Amino acid sequence: MNIFDFVVTDSHNAAHPLAQYQGKALLIVNVASQCGFTPQYAELESLYQQYANQGLVVIAFPCNQFGHQCIGSA
């Protein structure tokens, strides 16, 4: 099994097969959006803007494991 065998579900319950990104450079990150230690969002956006035309895709997965700092029903 590899990363492209997985299908992820978004907050609207829509399925997204990771196979659609085959041939691209994936940066997969675990995020806690309400955390005060997340200055990397601006850097991730900058990195994406710089390299998207070369095939970079950034996929962020919200996570509530870091002190419950990504709270929400989704």
- The residue range of the domain holding 53 is 24-66
- In the prediction, which pLDDT does 23 show? 95
Q: Which spans in the chain are helix H?
A: 40-51
In a domain, 42, yes or no: yes
In a domain, 58, yes or no: yes
- In the prediction, which pLDDT does 69 show? 57
In a domain, 16, yes or no: no
Per residue in 59-70, pLDDT (tens digit) is 988 776 666 656
In a domain, 60, yes or no: yes
In a domain, 29, yes or no: yes
Spell out the residues 6+ positions from residue 16 whose beta carbon is closer than 8 angstroms to its own: 7, 8, 9, 10
Residue 26, classified by CB atoms within 10 Å of its CB into exposed (0-12), middle (13-18) or buried (19+), is middle
In a domain, 11, yes or no: no
The total number of structural domains that make up the chain: 1
Per residue in 31-65, pLDDT (tens digit) is 766 666 666 778 889 999 999 999 999 998 877 66
Residues serving a catalytic function are 35
Q: Which of 24, 23, 18, 22 is nearest to 6 (CA)?
A: 18
